[in-house]
Amino acid sequence: MKLRLATRGSPLALAQAGTMALELSRLHPGLEVEFIRIRTSGDIFADQNLAQTGVKGLFIKEIEEALLADRADLAVHSAKDLPTDLPVGLALAAYPRREDPHDAFVGRKNLSWDAVKPGHRLGTSSPRRCSQILLAKPGLEIVPLRGNVGTRLQRVVEGACDGIVLAEAGLRRLGCDVRREILSEKVLVPAPGQGALAIEGRVDRPEIWKLLAVLDHLPTRREVETERAFLQAMGGGCMTPLGALARADEAGVALQVYCEDNGKSVRLSGFSRDGVWLAADLARQAKARLS
């Protein structure tokens, strides 16, 4: 049997898709996985500020269209890129075990996070990172920075900025041997779904869902669904200054969140056996404090 796996063509997307393809082949001997590379709106608008494009699901829209048109059987996404509402006919078949969800700081010439001071230039195009970084380190100059991981790391080497912040999971999946510091959620609450992969497919293909079910990691699913529930309750998207990090165990789900609106910011945390209920409760509290 052959599965057609839709993916972006970036090095990170291909690395993530490759890992899942190898795991599927290992778990289902004889299964063949073919990559279908798709250029998305996020790639097309590579030189623009994504928050100003007005396009939702920038990194997945064209991939979902390929699934719905039966040009692909499944897709591997970074969970943080997924809008909270999926197209009719598609659903998330599996969340593989999550990688480290935190952000990491990479400094020029071994600049440490503690040594970062007012006037230093820090590269990021993420409103979430920018908002929290300026709270932790007032007086920094934020340098808009897009492109794949390798491009952003090269900008640091070239001196375009004194440091950058990016996802630790991406560095690990690419095997980047670069000196960095992982930033605690006390400094930078990650994006909802950061560090997790989400495998999307058509709901009318039960034979494919059966193949994908072996990849699903229940604690990761509980965590990401809790984080996405908070994102949905806040009405946010991937370019919203909002962070959420859930940790699930047998007792329940702990959730820490951050959000900013009109110059006001709030951090909240809680614990419950019901992660979706907790997400809605923290969203209610956050909206009240930001109003």
Percent of the chain with pLDDT over 90: 85
The yes-or-no answer to whether 1-96+196-216 and 103-183 have a common fold is: yes
- As annotated, the active-site residues are 81
Identify the band that residue 236 occupies on the pLDDT scale cut at 50, 70 and 90: confident
Q: pLDDT, tens digit, for every residue of 151-210?
A: 999 999 999 999 999 999 999 999 999 999 999 999 999 999 999 999 999 999 999 999
Closest alpha carbon to 73 in 200, 255, 224, 164: 200
| DSSP symbols for 71-85 | S-SEEEEEGGG--SS
Q: pLDDT, tens digit, for every residue of 16-43?
A: 999 999 999 999 999 999 999 998 766 6
Q: Does domain 1-96+196-216 have CATH number 3.40.190.10?
A: yes
Q: What rounded mean pLDDT belongs to the chain?
A: 92
Can you give the residue ranges of every domain in the chain? 1-96+196-216, 103-183, 217-291
pLDDT at position 259: 96
Query: What is the value of pTM for the model shown?
Result: 0.92
Secondary structure of residue 179 in the 3-state scheme: coil
pLDDT at position 270: 98
Amino acid at 289: R
CATH of domain 103-183: 3.40.190.10
Q: pLDDT, tens digit, for every residue of 209-233?
A: 999 999 999 999 999 999 999 999 9
Which CATH number among 3.30.200.20, 2.60.40.10, 3.30.160.40, 3.90.1150.10 corresponds to the domain 217-291?
3.30.160.40
123, exposed or middle or buried, with CB in 10 Å at 0-12, 13-18, 19+?
buried
Closest alpha carbon to 195 in 219, 214, 230: 219
